[in-house]
A and B are shown apart, each in its own frame.
Chain A
């Protein structure tokens, strides 16, 4: 049994139980009025004498059916309510008015249900009142008494007249015979007959029976007329109730269903629209994926071209010995770069650059800068002069462009002389850190290559070195790393990590530093390219 039929059956059962009260009450009242006992025979007798009981008996069926219909309506209402609630959640703004109207209709339905329950009770009560009004039980009982009197008339014993007189007196004391003159006449005749006779032997019993039969026909004719009136009245009432039901359905329920159906249709339309938009989004995503794929391919190609354009150099360790180089581009290709050269057996140059831009744009600019660095390096300039020369050449090269400040680069230039254990450093917004037991910072100047505004002139430091010292330079992507907790690395932490990870082995230094950086980032993405390069001063 589904939940649907359960619900309907519950309503039907309730209606039937409620309806069963009517015949029970009717029987109870009638039996009580007529001083009868509860027995199937008496109930049968009452039904035989009053066909209105059959109509009253139909109350459980009728009310059961009516409540079943209400149950169906209610079930539908609950389902539609659930649907509307879903709609309200999904389309709250659009269906606010509909929801408001629906609340009003819910109130109406409640009132209508209440009206039917009360109405049914009133109609049932009316049945009983009308039954009592038009069905004169005294008259019926009197009729039965007359029947029994006629029965005595057929008794030929000597006690029969006396028994009839006794019965006459009993009946006279029980009933107001003046209210029923036709019956009183019959009884008076029988009584007079009993007074005159010592026995009823010789009485024309057949004539008496014929008389009784005529009285019987007359009585039932009137009785049936009364019952006919009651039946017609009940029929009219039932018709009125059915009319009210139909009217209520069309006036109250039908518009409500239409409203819900409209909401469902609109919801379906909205879903279709959402589905359509989802499909369009999927198509756009597919297109974006394809574009992304092409971009990655182009980046890979650009990376390859950049490597081809670079002048071949010996690997870092072959020139500097113990060294580490961490290169973490933001987008495959980086605007950061390192450039190095071996001026002589003991004198080497290391440059770390950080060009504006990321990806292909950044790497193109860095390639341009590296080209100029290649041209300047043979001049054997000191680091500060190197930076000024690079600035001049870039400005000269890009002088035809507006917005020169858009192609700037920060560099740190170190010239290292192993034999003299000395280094010369100059930086444009790129510091040099000497990591020994602490981090000694050689501060760069606020100078951007390719920029015209607010430039400090580069300054050259001469640094005495010791075996085991590490010379470290980094782009600002390192100190500006930001993790998932929105914490910035900062210079202090950056230098602490350089100290903490320091090792005699360049490879080990790099691995430890990368691990610490990854640990700090906790999977957060970078906002900038990051390059760190370190050179160990040999024994």
Chain B
């Protein structure tokens, strides 16, 4: 059953986790100055889920806008997923014209050493 970790607001992203599909979705905007309060539970959840089930996880990040602090938190989540064994995949969704968001994805992928699947609104690569 799908679990909503964060409902989402003007400054917070919507975060849902579907254990049946092994799918984590992060969508919307993230402007909190303390994004750890919302992303730390996600970290804990992923860590527990993977260690208990030994299943791979798919994370879909589809943030239209986020601040640096949120970018750091995403990097930490990607790091945790990357450190786990199993078939884990991170999908980085971005607007085809939003180069900055794509660059953020590339930077996180580079920093964590985890290959991302980049998905633009118009095409996939």
Contacts and interface: CB of A to CB of B under 8 A. Distances in A.
Nearest to B65: A488
A419 B65 CA distance: 41
Contacts of B72: 405, 408, 446, 448, 451, 453-454
Interface string A410-446: 1000000000000000000100000000000000001
Given A446-B108, A454-B75, A490-B100, 10 more contacts: A405-B36, A446-B72, A451-B72, A476-B68, A480-B31, A482-B65, A488-B65, A491-B99, A492-B99, A527-B11
Which 10 pairs show the lowest CB-CB distances between chains A and B?
A527-B31, A454-B75, A491-B100, A488-B65, A429-B68, A454-B111, A476-B68, A446-B107, A453-B76, A357-B33
A482 B66 CA distance: 11
A462 interface: no
A370 to B, nearest CB: 19
A520 to B, nearest CB: 14
Contacts of B67: 476, 480, 528
B117 interface: no
B116 to A, nearest CB: 14
B79 interface: yes
A183 B55 CA distance: 123
B76 A454 contact: yes
B22 interface: no
A378 interface: no
Interface string A445-478: 0101001011010000000000000000000100
A329 B51 CA distance: 44
A516 to B, nearest CB: 19
Interface in B22-74: 31, 33-34, 36, 64-65, 67-69, 71-72
A479 interface: yes
A468 to B, nearest CB: 28
Contact of A453 (B34, B68, B75, B98): B75
B79 A453 contact: yes
Contacts of A279: none
17 contacts: A335-B33, A356-B34, A408-B72, A446-B75, A446-B107, A446-B111, A448-B68, A453-B72, A453-B76, A454-B75, A454-B111, A456-B111, A476-B68, A480-B67, A492-B99, A527-B31, A528-B31
Interface residues of B, number: 23
B84 interface: no
A358 interface: yes
A441 to B, nearest CB: 11
Interface in B87-125: 98-100, 107-108, 111-112
B69 A356 contact: yes
Contacts of B68: 354, 410, 429, 448, 476
Contacts of A358: 33
A315 interface: no
Interface of A, helix, strand, loop or mixed by DSSP: loop
Contacts of A362: 33
A406 interface: yes
Nearest to A451: B72
A181 interface: no
A403 interface: yes
A492 B107 CA distance: 18
A408 B11 contact: no
Interface string A354-383: 101110001000000000000000000000
A158 B76 CA distance: 146
A446 B34 CA distance: 18
Nearest to A335: B33
A357 B68 CA distance: 12
Contacts of B31: 480, 527-528
A488 B75 contact: no
Contacts of A480: 31, 65, 67
A403 B65 CA distance: 25
Given A356-B69, A446-B107, A527-B11, A454 B112 contact: yes
B5 to A, nearest CB: 20
A491 to B, nearest CB: 5
A453 B77 CA distance: 11
A57 B79 CA distance: 104
Contacts of B75: 446, 453-454
A479 B65 CA distance: 10
Contacts of B112: 454
Contact of B98 (A356, A451, A490): A490
Interface in A384-411: 403, 405-406, 408, 410
B100 A406 contact: no
